[in-house]
């Protein structure tokens, strides 16, 4: 039997999570959790529904320094927001790949992240954009970078009795561009076979967020600035950078296929991110 609790404050929510321990699960959008309940892959003893919590951080706060994202920001609202589309195009592209329109209007960004699937669509772009996670418990709150947050499949540094209350994204520097690409078995609703987010900086530095090619979403960086005017140097740099990928074989693809496709997708993502930098900066890099 699963008990249901609908707190109205963060203090009540984290107290309930702490008391129940490992058996508690947080309910926000529920698009992943309810599937797990239906198929008995998740069997909690307590559901803590935080949608009525009055003192949660707002869904979205935009400042000159970046954005703060609360637990109730949906994928649909994220993808439609003009400032997020301008500053974080890779994240918007990833959000638009999540399920159907109906699912995107329910699924929360923070829920997608805390589910900690190695194939989570929004994780690679959030890694590239330098996301920082705020975790709250009865003892207070702490912050951790998203690159340290993931431990493995369905495992994070958010322990029993804790609640992720916010994700912070810094505003990208001038001349930065980003893009997200993924490969699935078919169009429509499916988990990624491979996904890649790329961030290209003004000075030619390249960061990559990788999904479905390891036990957790991965962040890696091309060590030396890349001459993005030609593709030969980029291909050589990616061969070294993508050595962090350690995919498995499963029903979606073989290990060998994933290793081949992560290189194809990384090149596409980097070139798309390059082209999204401001025209002035792009011209400077090509000269």
Q: pLDDT of 42-57, one tens digit each?
A: 899 999 999 999 999 9
**279 band by pLDDT with thresholds 50, 70 and 90:** low
User: Taking the CB of residue 151, how many other CB atoms lie within 10 A of it?
Assistant: 13
Is 25 a member of any domain?
yes
Residue 239 has what pLDDT? 86
Distance CA 136, CA 151 (A): 18
Span of 26-40, 107-121, 219-233 with lowest mean pLDDT: 219-233
Is 32 a member of any domain?
yes
Q: pLDDT of 211-255, one tens digit each?
A: 999 999 999 998 777 777 777 778 888 888 999 999 999 988 999
Q: pLDDT of 120-148, one tens digit each?
A: 999 999 999 999 999 999 999 999 999 99
- 97-121 burial: b if 16+ Cβ within 10 Å, else e: bbbeeebbebbbbbbbbbbbbbbbb
Residue 269 has what pLDDT? 96
Is 14 a member of any domain?
yes
Is 15 a member of any domain?
yes
Average pLDDT over residues 270-278: 89
Answer yes or no: are the C-beta atoms of 185 and 194 closer than 8 Å: no
Average pLDDT over residues 4-31: 94
CATH number for position 241: 3.30.390.50
- What's the whole-number average pLDDT of the chain? 91
Percent of the chain past pLDDT 70, that is, above it, reads 95
Is 272 a member of any domain?
yes
**286 band by pLDDT with thresholds 50, 70 and 90:** very low
Q: Name which residue leads in pLDDT, 62 or 154.
A: 62
Q: Is the pLDDT of residue 282 over 50?
A: no
Q: Is the pLDDT of residue 272 over 70?
A: yes
Is 96 a member of any domain?
no
Residue 189 has what pLDDT? 56
Answer yes or no: are the C-beta atoms of 217 and 209 closer than 8 Å: yes
**207 band by pLDDT with thresholds 50, 70 and 90:** very high
Residue 65 has what pLDDT? 97
Distance CA 145, CA 50 (A): 23
CATH number for position 17: 3.30.43.10
Most confident region among 25-29, 222-226, 254-258 by mean pLDDT? 254-258
Is 274 a member of any domain?
yes
Is 232 a member of any domain?
yes
Residue 35 has what pLDDT? 82
Span of 82-91, 108-117, 253-262, 273-282 with lowest mean pLDDT: 273-282
Average pLDDT over residues 7-18: 96
Distance CA 250, CA 266 (A): 21
Total count of domains within the chain: 2
Handedness of CA 44, 46, 47, 53 (dihedral sign): negative
Distance CA 261, CA 195 (A): 9
Domain membership of residue 13 as a residue range: 1-49
């Amino acid at each position: 039997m699963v008990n249901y609790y609908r707190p109205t404050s963060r203090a009540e929510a984290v107290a309930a999570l702490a008391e129940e321990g490992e058996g508690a699960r947080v309910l926000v959008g529920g698009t992943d959790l309810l599937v797990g309940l239906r198929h008995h892959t998740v069997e909690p003893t307590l559901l803590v529904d935080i949608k009525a919590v009055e003192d949660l951080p707002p869904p979205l706060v935009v400042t000159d320094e970046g954005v703060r994202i609360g637990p109730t920001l949906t994928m649909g609202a994220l993808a439609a927001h003009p400032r997020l589309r301008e500053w974080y195009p890779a994240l918007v592209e990833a959000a638009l790949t999540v399920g159907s329109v109906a699912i995107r209007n329910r699924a929360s960004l923070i829920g997608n992240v805390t589910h900690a699937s190695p194939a989570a669509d929004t994780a690679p772009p959030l890694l590239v954009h330098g996301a920082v996670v705020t975790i709250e418990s009865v003892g207070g709150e702490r912050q951790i970078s998203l690159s340290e947050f993931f431990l493995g499949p369905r495992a994070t540094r958010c322990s029993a009795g804790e609640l992720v209350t916010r994700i912070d994204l810094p505003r990208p520097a001038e001349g930065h561009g980003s893009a997200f690409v993924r490969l699935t078995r078919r169009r429509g609703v499916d988990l990624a076979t491979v996904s890649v987010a790329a961030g290209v900086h003004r000075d030619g530095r390249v960061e990559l967020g990788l999904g479905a090619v390891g036990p957790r979403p991965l962040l890696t960086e091309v060590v030396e600035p890349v001459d993005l005017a030609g593709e030969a140097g980029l291909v050589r740099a990616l061969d070294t950078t993508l050595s962090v990928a350690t995919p498995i074989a499963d029903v979606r693809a073989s290990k060998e296929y994933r290793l081949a496709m992560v290189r194809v997708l990384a090149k596409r993502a980097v070139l798309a991110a390059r082209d999204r930098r401001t025209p002035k900066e792009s011209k400077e890099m090509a000269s």
